[in-house]
Structure 1
Amino acid sequence: MPTISWLSLSWCALPVLMICGIYLYWQGKPSEILLSSARMTLQLIGVGYILVALFGNPSIWLTLVVLVVMISAASWIAIRPVRHHKGFLKPAFIALGLAVTLHLLITLKLVLDVDVWYEPRVMIPLAGMYFANTMNAISLAAERYHAELHEGKDEKQARLNAFHAAMIPQVNGLLAVGLVALPGMMTGQILSGVSPLIAVRYQIMIMTMILGTSGMGAAMMLWLLGRRYRNVSAAITEAKK
């Protein structure tokens, strides 16, 4: 696969500038796009150097530190739509941790049968994909759950509607794969010379695990939020007596 030079990579600024142009034309503020794009670039360059060091010197402790940083950042980002309300960060952290840990165990031990579970070259890319997708599912679930309750919906109905909303991207992805687009991991493997039939097996593994971790993470988040909602409601009812 051809190597991308830093000079050639600079052309990737064109899509960013085009989107900023749309913001400006419609009298919006492109600052969020510019800042997030700049942050993405710096974060990826930084993590690239970190991964080179980790891959060269595998360590269980360094891998665990990276995972803690990942889950902390994912939890904080997941509650962004409801960050102005209290009580969402802890459930997000727990939901992410349980869902991703379970599916990493299934992937590493049952599917891939790796000898060294903390091998950074395997663990970190998988954890990154699982955290990112679960984070999005949790974010959608939390936002919809809060909105449904605010509209006066019953808690059980709010929970179901929120879960359905959180799973829409995953279901759409399952339906579209192979027909609309080839997923990122599969595309990367094919570009690097791996047989499409081998790339397909890896992609099936990734997509089923992401489905599971996203669904479990959203369900766990909603269960924790529902328990908190019922406890608060009971306390308010008791105080009124």
Structure 2
Amino acid sequence: MNNAVQVISFSHLAFAFIPVLVALAILLQWRLPIKNGLYALSRMLIQLLLIGYFLSYIFESHSAGIVVGVLLIMVIASSWIALGAVPDQRWKMYKYALAAVILGGGFTLFIMSVGVLGLDPWYNPQYMVPLAGMAFANAMNSVSLSAERLHAEMRRGEDYLIARRIALKASLIPIINALFAVGLVSLPGMMTGQILSGVSPFIAVRYQIMIMCMMFGSSVISAAFFLSLIKPLMSTKPVMLNKN
């Protein structure tokens, strides 16, 4: 099997924006705003180009302090972004979201890096940073969906325990769909990347099983922990049910 990764030139990369232009044209045709789409695409380009240079530096540094600093930034940022669905409650819920992301994402990351991979050193940036990104991003999405759904159910006057159960169930829809689809509908990013780089599909499958277990665990643990932690806020409905 050829282990050489095909390098994408910038001129060829430009072709990737053809579907983007078509999508923007559809939005304009349907008289929908494209401002958010353009802003998101611009941020994506800037962030990925910057992270490309930054990751090269991290991988070459082999510094535990730098890796820990990157993990802290990931946790802080993902916890804040997770509460974008409930902006009026962001500051009140932030400490709970932070704790939930640390517990759910951090616990699963520890199990995978130490128990499954046995990283040596434990902070090996080439493995730790990408795995942490997946663990914390998945925890973030789960907390975000559960917060939005709980907020909506409580506004409808639902009992907290019932609303909590509904919110947890709703937050798991993406990961449950991903578990059903993997291997049948989709080949996830890590598995696809490894296969494209020449890794045996049998090895890539083992890594993907690890990733899917990490994603499911971080989703359930983070959402459940978050929904349990914010119970005190639910006892004061006028605060939680702030009308805009």
3-state DSSP of counterpart to 2:32: coil
Which residue does the alignment assign to 1:64? 68
Q: Does 1:218 align with 2:232?
A: no
1:29 paired residue among 29, 33, 49: 33
Match of 2:184, SS state, is coil
| 1:228 positional shift | 2.7
Q: CA-to-partner distance for each residue in 1:124-177, whole Å, 9 max, x for gaps?
A: 000001111111111100000000000011100000000000001111111111
Gaps of 5+ in 2: 240-244
State the AA in 1 paired with 2:200: S
Q: 2:193 aligns with which of 188, 191, 206?
A: 188
Q: Is the 8 A contact 1:16 1:33 kept in 2?
A: no
Alpha-carbon separation, structure 1, partners of 2:56 and 2:197: 18
Instruction: Determine if contact 2:106/2:136 at 8 Å carries over to the other structure.
Output: no
1:200 aligned to which of 192, 201, 205: 205
Corresponding position of 2:242:
none
SS at match of 1:87: helix
Aligned with 2:158 (options 153, 159, 169): 153
Instruction: Name the amino acid aligned to 2:191.
Output: M
Give unpaired runs (5+ residues) of structure 1: 237-241
Change (3 A) 1:41 1:235: closer
Q: Is the 8 A contact 1:16 1:34 kept in 2?
A: no
Q: Counterparts of 1:122 and 1:182 in 2: how far apart (Å)?
A: 20
Q: Deviations over 1:27-60 (max 9, x none)?
A: 1110111111110111011011011011111111
Pairwise CA RMSD:
1.5
Q: 1:53 aligns with which of 57, 65, 76?
A: 57
In the alignment, which residue of structure 1 is the partner of 2:7?
Answer: 3
Alignment partner of 2:80: what SS? helix
**Is 1:170 aligned to residue 175 of structure 2?**
yes
Question: Normalising to structure 2: TM-score of the pair?
Answer: 0.92
User: CA contact under 8 A between 1:190 and 1:196: conserved in structure 2?
Assistant: yes
Bigger mean CA offset, 217-226 vs 8-17: 8-17
Return the TM-score normalized by structure 1: 0.93
Instruction: Spell out structure 1 runs of 4+ moving beyond 4 A.
Output: none
* Percent identical residues: 45
